[in-house]
Amino acid sequence: MPDTIDPEKAVDAIAYTASLVTGVRAVYGCGASGITFPTAIYDDPTHPNVIRPIPNKMPLEPLTVSVELPVAPTIRHKSGTVIEIDWQIPMRLWLAGNSQMEARRQAAPFYGRFLTTFSQYAGLGGYANSCLIASFALGGDGDSVWLDMVCSVWQRSNLDNQPGPAW
C-alpha cells in the first residue's frame, strides 16, 4: 500500500468496486490512474477495460455510477510523524425517470448491495486502509433522479517513510 493516497487512483478504485455491485451497468471515474477491469465492460475495441472519465453529457444512463474527485482531505495527527488522511469521495448512481417516488423504489435494493460490496473490498485493492460508504441521499432536479453516496477513504501514513529534503 502506498504511504499516501493518490485521489485519482482512489476514485478509479471506487469506480472499479462499484462495477462489482449487482445491477450497475457502467461506471466512470477519473480515467487517469491506469486501473483496469479484468474483463471488457465497454464496447470499445481499443480500450474495453480501462476506467473512463465522466462524460460531459448529463444525466448519464440509468444504473450508471459516476465517481468524482474529492475537494480536500481531513488530516488527523496521531503523533509527530503519523497522520490519518480521510477523503470524502462523492459517488452517484443515476436512476431512471424523474419522480422521487420512483427513485425511492429503484434505490431500495442498492443500499444493501453497495454496503456489502464496499465492506468486502474495503481496502480498494491496496489503495487505502479502508473505504466504506459513509452516507446515502436521494436527489433530483426535475429531469432526472439519482442516489448520491459518499465514500470515506481512510489511510494511516507514517511521514518518517516519506522521502524529503535533508536538513
47-90 pLDDT, tens digit per residue, is: 456 677 888 887 788 999 999 999 999 999 988 888 899 999 99
Query: What cell does 67 get?
Result: 465517481
CA distance 51 to 28: 6
β partners of residue 36: 50
Q: Dig out the grid coordinates for 111 from the structure.
A: 443500499
User: Which residues have CB under 8 Å from 94's CB, separation 6+?
Assistant: 59, 60, 61, 62, 63, 64, 65, 66, 144, 146
If you average pLDDT over each of 30-34, 101-105, 155-159, which comes out highest?
101-105
- Predicted confidence (pLDDT) at residue 9 exceeds the cutoff of 70: yes
Kindly give the interhelix angle for 7-19 and 100-120, rounded to the nearest 10 degrees: 110
Q: 101-138 pLDDT, tens per residue?
A: 999 999 999 999 999 999 999 988 888 899 999 999 99
Query: Which domains occur in the chain, in start order?
Result: 7-161 (3.30.2000.10)
Give the span between the Cα atoms of 127 and 2, in whole angstroms: 7
Residue 9: other Cβ atoms inside 10 A: 21
Q: What is the dihedral of CA 37, 34, 52, 138, to 10 degrees?
A: 80
pLDDT reading at 14 higher than 70: yes
Beta bridge partners of 158: 82
Query: Considering only 2-11, 42-51, 152-161, which range has the smallest mean pLDDT?
Result: 42-51
Cell, residue 35: 486501473
Whole-number Cα distances in Å, 126 to 21, 54, 57, 66, 97? 19, 23, 32, 21, 37
Q: How many residues appear in the chain?
A: 167
